[in-house]
Amino acid sequence: MKIKKILTLTVLISLLSVGFTFENCYAAKSNKQITREETVCNYVNVDWWKNFGDEFLTDYILRALNNNQDLKIAKLKVEETVETKNITRAKEMPSISAGAFPALYKLPGLTNTDGLISLPLIANYEIDIFGKNRDKTKSQDKLVEISKENERSAYISIISSVGSVYYNIVKLDKLIEIQEKIINDRKQIYDLMQLSNNEGITSTADTVSAYKAYVKSNSDMIELKKTRERMLNMLAVLVGESPENAIDYKRIAYDDLIIKKEIPEYIETNVIEARPDYVASEKMIEKAGLDVRAAKKEFLPTFNILGLLSFNSTEFFRKMNWTNSVALTGVNAMLPLFTGGAKIANFKLNKNKYLQAVENYQKTNLQAIQEVNNALCDLKLDNEKYLKTLENFNAEKKEFFYTDLKYKEGIISNLDLLQKKESLLVTEKLVASDKIELFVNQIGLYKATAGNLN
C-alpha cells in the first residue's frame, strides 16, 4: 500500500512540474536562441503528430516528453558528457595550488631541533605546442555531439512506442467490441443446435462442435482483454506514470479514425543521412581520428612552465616577507624514453577503435537504408492488403444483406443467418487489424526516417 502511495505521489509531483507543451514549440521558433522546447520539438517533429488530429494521442506524447524516465536519463547523459569535456578542457589551463608545510628540522653539527613553516604557491602549465591537449578536448566535444544524437534517438524511439502502443490499444478496443458480438452469435448458434439436437435434426457431434466454438470465443475474449491490459500498462510506463490507473486511460474510438496521410513514393537520401544513428556514427569516426592523432603526439616531448613561490619562517606568521621567501620559475622539457610499450599499445588501440568506427559507419549506413526501405515497403503493401480486405468485407456485407432477405422470406433458417453473420464479423476483425496496422506502419516509417516526414 505504501508503494502505491509513493508511486501516486511521484506521478502527482511530475504532473505539477510539467511545463512542456506543443504550443511552446511555436513560441520557441520566434526566439533567436534555441530553447530546450525548440530542441525537443525538432527531435520529435510535432507537426507530423498533430496531423493525426487525436487530442488523446497528443496528450500521451506530451506526458511522455515530460515524464518518461528514459528521456530524462538521456538528457542527464548529455550533461554527463559535457562535464567530462570540461574536465578534459581544464587540462589545457594552468594549475595553481597553495598549501602549508609545517616541519621540524635538525641541521648537521647541532643537537637541537627547530621549527619551520612554509607557505608554498605552485603554478604549472603544460605548453600545448603540438596541440595534443586540444585534440583531446575536441575528441570530448565529439562525444557531446554523439550523446545529443543518442538523446534524439531516444526521443524518437519513445514517442514512436507511445504512438504504436496507443493505436494497438484502439485496435484491441474494436476487436473486443466485435468479439462480444461473435460470442453472442455463437451462443445463439449453440442454443439453436441444442434445440435441433433435442428434436433429432442435428447430430450430437455438431452440437458439441458448436459448444466448442462458443467456449473458444470466450477464451479469445479473455486473451484480447489480457493483451489490452498489458498494452495499457506499457503505455503508462512510457508516459512515466504508474500503471495502477491505466485502465482509465482515454483514447479515440476506432470508428473515428481517419487515414489522412499519403504514402510517399520514395524517401530522399538526405533523410537517411539525418538519422541520429547515422550522424552519431560519423561523429564517432571524427572522434576516433582525433584520438589517433592525440596518441601519436604522446611520443613527442612535453614542455611545462613551473613557478614556485614560498614564504618560509621559523615563527608562525612572523617574518613572512619577501626576504624570507623562495621564488622559482622555469621551463622543463620531458621526452619519455621507455614506458614499457604503453604508448605504442595506446596508439594501436586508438587506431583499432578508428577502424571499428569506420566499419560501424558502413554497417549503420546499410541498416538505415534497410530500415527505411522495409518501413516504406510495409506501409505500401499493407495499404494494398487493407484495401483488399476492405473490398472483401464490403462483399461480405452485401452477401449478408441478401442472406438476411432470404431469412426474412423464410428461404433459409436463423441458424444459416447467424453463421453468415459470424463470417461477416470475422472479416470485420481483419479490417480493423489491417487499418490499425497502417497507422502503426506510418509510425514505423516516422521512426525509420527519424521523424523527417511532412
For 224-253, b/e burial (b = at least 16 CB within 10 A) is beebbeebbbbbbbbbbbbbeebeebebbe
Please check whether residue 360 lies inside any domain of the structure: yes
Tell me the three cell numbers of residue 432: 480493423
Give how many domains the chain has, as a whole number.
1
pLDDT at 15: 39
pLDDT at 449 over 80: yes
Look at the block and give the residue holding cell 509510425. 443
Cα-flanking dihedrals φ and ψ of residue 441, to 5°?
-65, -35
pLDDT tens-place string over residues 295-320: 999 999 999 999 988 877 665 555 55
Range of the domain at 158: 51-92+128-300+335-448
Please check whether residue 28 lies inside any domain of the structure: no
Please check whether residue 201 lies inside any domain of the structure: yes
* Residue 161 CB partners (closer than 8 Å, separation 6+): 238
Q: What global pTM score does this model have?
A: 0.86
pLDDT tens-place string over residues 178-191: 999 999 999 999 99
Tell me the three cell numbers of residue 409: 422470406
- Of the ranges 21-35, 269-283, 361-375, 418-432, which one carries the lowest mean pLDDT score? 21-35
Write the CATH number for 157.
1.20.1600.10
pLDDT at 218 over 50: yes
Please check whether residue 413 lies inside any domain of the structure: yes
- CA dist 365 and 374 (Å) reads 14
Look at the block and give the residue holding cell 520514395. 266
Please check whether residue 184 lies inside any domain of the structure: yes
pLDDT at 23: 60
Please check whether residue 18 lies inside any domain of the structure: no
Please calculate the CA angle 385-386-389 and round it to the nearest 5 degrees.
85
In order of 88, 236, 303, 420, the CA distances from 40 in angstroms are 28, 21, 45, 52
pLDDT at 56 over 90: yes
pLDDT at 109: 74
Please check whether residue 99 lies inside any domain of the structure: no
